[in-house]
């Protein structure tokens, strides 16, 4: 089963980066208020970026890299998909 790194845009315009094995289910979880603490008060969230990986290790490494990017860099990543 592949792993994914995603960026979700929150209702307040902020960006949240995470990893999952099921992107659609994860977004539903965020929107149900049962996801990350950060997104609970910023619903609804929508998926704006997705990368697929063959293993969890690579996905987590990429998640860490993306989380270290500035907002501007993340927006460039999203828009140059």
**pTM to 2 decimals?**
0.95
- DSSP per-residue string spanning 20-72: ES-HHHHHHHHHTT-S-HHHHTS---EEEEEEEESSHHHHHHHHHHHHTS-HH
Q: What pLDDT, on the 0 to 100 scale, is given for residue 81? A: 55
pLDDT in tens, the chain (81 residues): 899 999 999 999 999 999 999 999 999 999 999 989 999 999 999 999 999 999 999 999 999 999 999 999 999 999 985
Q: Kindly list the structural domains of the chain, giving each domain's residue range(s) and its CATH number in brackets, ordered by start.
A: 3-79 (3.40.1440.10)
């Amino acid at each position: 089963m592949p792993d994914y790194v995603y960026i979700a845009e929150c209702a307040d315009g902020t960006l949240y980066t995470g990893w999952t094995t099921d992107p659609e289910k994860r977004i539903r979880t965020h929107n149900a208020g049962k996801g990350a603490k950060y997104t609970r008060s910023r619903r609804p969230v929508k998926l704006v970026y997705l990368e697929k990986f063959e293993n969890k290790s690579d996905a987590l490494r990429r998640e860490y890299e993306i989380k270290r990017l500035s907002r501007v860099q993340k927006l460039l990543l999203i828009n140059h998909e």
